[in-house]
Amino acid sequence: MINEKLEKAFNDQINAEFYSEYFYLSMYAYFERMNLQGFKNWMNVQMQEEHAHAMGMFNYLHERGGKVTLQAIEQPKSDWNSPLEVFEDVLKHEQYVTSRINALMDVADEVKDRAAVSFLDWYLKEQVEEEANVGNVLKTLKMICNDKNCLYMLDKELATRTFVAPVIG
């Protein structure tokens, strides 16, 4: 049976992961309105990844005999001024998620749950990758400024990203 404090922390993180999915869905809708299909695709892949992350924790909590308690999902932002602003928000969000995973790991350490520490190690590594991926797109957006031709080329590049279901844990 999983520790009660750790169970609550997992439930809070499950909510945060579902919020992330919702946040990326909002960005997907924004890029759909802008007719930037590659950017929309990038957000779709990100949205699927966040769903997989939430379900990984959901399933883990069940495997450990815990109770999943779903919570209300906060309404995400839905308007931005530019793709650059979107990706600045994405980076801030992923950094926030990293801090949350670190805090969850701290609870697992505190209650001496080695299985949870081992499980969460995958999420910490995933966050390093998430921040790097976002950082790369953000650097490119800053470099191209408002050049519509370059934005078009980046949109075509982002259209090639595909979702690969992660093997969590």
Tokens encoding 95: 């950094």
Q: Which residues contact 114 (CB under 8 A, 6 or more apart)?
A: none
Is residue 46 in some structural domain?
Answer: yes
Q: Per-residue pLDDT for 146 more than 90?
A: no
pLDDT of residue 21: 98
Backbone angles phi, psi at 140, to 5 degrees: -65, -45
Q: How confident is the model over 133-142, as pLDDT tens digits? A: 999 999 999 9
CA atoms within 13 A on the CB side of 129: 9
- The model's pTM: 0.96
Is residue 121 in some structural domain?
Answer: yes
Is residue 58 in some structural domain?
Answer: yes
Question: The domain spanning residue 121 has which CATH number?
Answer: 1.20.1260.10
Q: How confident is the model over 82-139, as pLDDT tens digits? A: 999 999 999 999 999 999 999 999 999 999 999 999 999 999 999 999 999 999 999 9
The count of structural domains within the chain is 1
Q: How confident is the model over 51-81, as pLDDT tens digits? A: 999 999 999 999 999 999 999 999 999 999 9
Is residue 135 in some structural domain?
Answer: yes
Q: d(Cα 132, Cα 4) in Å, to the nearest integer?
A: 34
Q: d(Cα 28, Cα 136) in Å, to the nearest integer?
A: 19
Is residue 85 in some structural domain?
Answer: yes
Among the listed residues 140, 119, 122, 141, the one whose alpha carbon sits nearest the alpha carbon of residue 130: 122
Is residue 168 in some structural domain?
Answer: no
Place 169 in a pLDDT band, splitting at 50, 70 and 90.
confident
pLDDT of residue 112: 98
Place 1 in a pLDDT band, splitting at 50, 70 and 90.
confident
Q: How confident is the model over 12-24, as pLDDT tens digits? A: 999 999 999 999 9
Contact yes or no for 107/117 (Cβ under 8 A): no
Residue-number span of the structural domain to which 12 is assigned? 4-69+81-158
pLDDT of residue 89: 98
Is residue 167 in some structural domain?
Answer: no
Q: Which residues contact 108 (CB under 8 A, 6 or more apart)?
A: 6, 9, 116, 117, 120
Contact yes or no for 68/62 (Cβ under 8 A): yes
Tokens encoding 102: 């670190």
Is residue 19 in some structural domain?
Answer: yes
pLDDT of residue 125: 97
